[in-house]
Amino acid sequence: MFWRRREPGDFGAEIEAHIQLEVERLVQQGVSQAEACRRARSAFGNATRAREQFQESRGWTGAETVLRDIRFGLRMLARHPASSAATAATLALVIGMNTAIFSVVHTALFRPLPVRHPEELVMLTDPDAFGVLGGVMTGPRYLLSYAEFGQLRERAASVSGLCASGLTLERWQLRVSGGAPEEARGRMVSGNYFAVFGVTPAIGHFFADDQGPYAVISYDYWQRRFGGSPAVLGMPVRFHQTTLTVTGVARRGFRGETVGQNPDMWLPLRMQPLVMPGTDELNNDIVMWLHVFGRRKPGVTVAHVQAEMSALFRHLLEEKRSEPNQRLIVRPAPRGVFLGRDAFSLQWAVLSALAALVLLLACANTASLLLARATGRARAAGAAG
């Protein structure tokens, strides 16, 4: 009995009991009932504040307040189901739109590649610049020939490896295990492509050279086309006049170095004459078609790589007696490549601002609606009083 915790109802009853005793005392002194009630309540003070202080002293007032507010909110929603549903749908739509936009922006502009130590990656070419694919050019070199890539790979000491990938994501017609013709998206890459990017296979192994005829398929393509079956390893794929052998599957999440371009498979660079019959870009030194990436050695800065690559490239130009006013610009590449990144950044900055403005307007309209309802309730209560 002595440890019984007082409930809010008990405390309220005690307040009323004290006030009633004071009223009775004043009535006995000849004060009218109404005046006695007024004086008693005035002498006691703010009973509502006393109840609030009692509630605060009991603890858990935050949770109780939240639950009370939730119940009140649900009652208000039930009174205006149509407008409540419209408001909720509008907010859900606007919030969903903002989430989708910011997710795309984060993926394209800020999220690093899902590879080992992406901060060590650099690119020697500029995949975002289009123009000359052959002949002589001046200024920054956007692409490299196969011969230039091979010589830089052999001589570079500031990087643990240089790899290359073809300019475009191709669409190839092929037959899997003698089946009907089907289309797959693919890119040609150097044999050390996966090693330089620090990617491990989900199953199987990657090709170790530029020769072939091998194929590595993406995780998404493996799941979509082959149902994730390990029997895909060693499976023959007929491509033009060549039969490829699937050696491995890239790990989940890796879709290449170019954001937004998701190859189904990768083939070795030296298969280029087979992939593109009638052309030989491997031995044509004036055809520039490769993007080149590297991984800095530990402790080596981008400036150090830049200095070495500038010297090596200048030496290559002298050996070829080519236009001397060409240069390589080494850029950090932790986020990989996104074609049109600068234009995309501006466009999505504007779109993100508009989306945020729409969200702000939706929240402001919702707040105005709730304020109007609260004002209406207050007026109704005042009229009733």
CA distances from 51 to 14, 22, 69, 143 (A): 11, 19, 18, 77
pLDDT at 41: 77
Are 133 and 81 found together in one domain?
no
Residues 6+ apart with CB under 8 A from 355: 94, 97, 98, 101
- Between 6 and 120, whose confidence is greater? 120
Q: Is residue 311 part of a domain?
A: yes
- Residue 44: what residue type? F
Residue 89 pLDDT > 70: yes
Residue 104 pLDDT > 50: yes
Are 328 and 349 found together in one domain?
no
Are 172 and 319 found together in one domain?
yes
pLDDT at 1: 41
Query: How many beta carbons lie within 10 A of that of residue 147, not counting itself?
Result: 16
Are 307 and 207 found together in one domain?
yes
Are 53 and 166 found together in one domain?
no
pLDDT at 240: 86
- Cα dihedral angle (38, 43, 49, 50), rounded to 10 degrees? -120
Q: Is residue 39 part of a domain?
A: yes
CA distances from 2 to 6, 208, 240, 339, 350 (A): 11, 83, 93, 77, 68
pLDDT one-digit tens code per residue, 298-357: 999 999 999 999 999 999 999 988 778 899 999 999 998 876 555 555 666 676 777 777
Residue 99 pLDDT > 60: yes
**Among 25-29, 49-53, 135-139, whose mean pLDDT is lowest?**
49-53
User: Looking at residue 113, what DSSP letter applies?
Assistant: P
pLDDT at 132: 42
From CA 328, how far away is CA 262, in angstroms rounded?
A: 27
pLDDT at 57: 60
Range of the domain at 78: 74-109+342-384
The 3-state DSSP class for residue 160 equals strand
CA 381 from chain center: how many Å? 50
Are 319 and 230 found together in one domain?
yes
Nearest to 26 by CA among 35, 15, 16: 35
pLDDT at 79: 73
What are the phi and psi torsion angles at 4 (to 5°)?
Answer: -65, 130
Residue 107 pLDDT > 80: no
Mean pLDDT in residue range 360-379: 74
- Between 61 and 279, whose confidence is greater? 279
pLDDT at 2: 43
Nearest to 91 by CA among 374, 371, 367: 367
Are 350 and 300 found together in one domain?
no
Domain boundary, last residue among 311, 332, 353: 332
pLDDT at 49: 64
pLDDT at 277: 84
pLDDT one-digit tens code per residue, 131-149: 445 555 678 888 999 999 9
Residue 51 pLDDT > 50: yes
Are 182 and 241 within 8 A, CB to CB? Answer: no
pLDDT one-digit tens code per residue, 173-204: 999 988 899 999 999 999 999 999 999 999 99
Q: Is residue 323 part of a domain?
A: yes
pLDDT at 7: 57
pTM given for the model: 0.67
Are 176 and 308 found together in one domain?
yes
From CA 128, how far away is CA 114, in angstroms rounded?
A: 21
pLDDT at 50: 63
Question: Which residue pairs from 271-278 have beta carbons closer than 8 angstroms and sit at least 24 positions apart in sequence?
Answer: 271/188, 271/211, 271/212, 271/213, 271/242, 272/146, 272/166, 272/188, 274/212, 274/213, 274/239, 274/240, 274/241, 274/242, 275/170, 275/172, 275/188, 275/239, 275/240, 277/240
Domain total in the chain: 3
Residue recorded with tokens 């610049």: 129
pLDDT at 172: 93
pLDDT at 337: 85
Radius of gyration, CA atoms only, the chain: 37
The neighbouring-strand residues paired with 165 are: 189, 291
pLDDT at 53: 63
Confidence of residue 250 (pLDDT cuts 50, 70, 90): very high
Rounded to the nearest integer, the mean pLDDT of the chain is 82
From CA 82, how far away is CA 84, in angstroms rounded?
A: 5
Of all residues in the chain, the percent with pLDDT exceeding 70 is 79
**Among 40-44, 72-76, 163-167, 193-197, whose mean pLDDT is lowest?**
72-76
Q: Is residue 298 part of a domain?
A: yes
pLDDT at 35: 85
Are 217 and 265 found together in one domain?
yes
Residue 255 pLDDT > 80: yes
pLDDT at 163: 96
Are 307 and 363 found together in one domain?
no
Mean pLDDT in residue range 263-284: 91
Are 247 and 268 found together in one domain?
yes
Are 220 and 248 found together in one domain?
yes
Mean pLDDT in residue range 376-383: 66
- Between 110 and 166, whose confidence is greater? 166
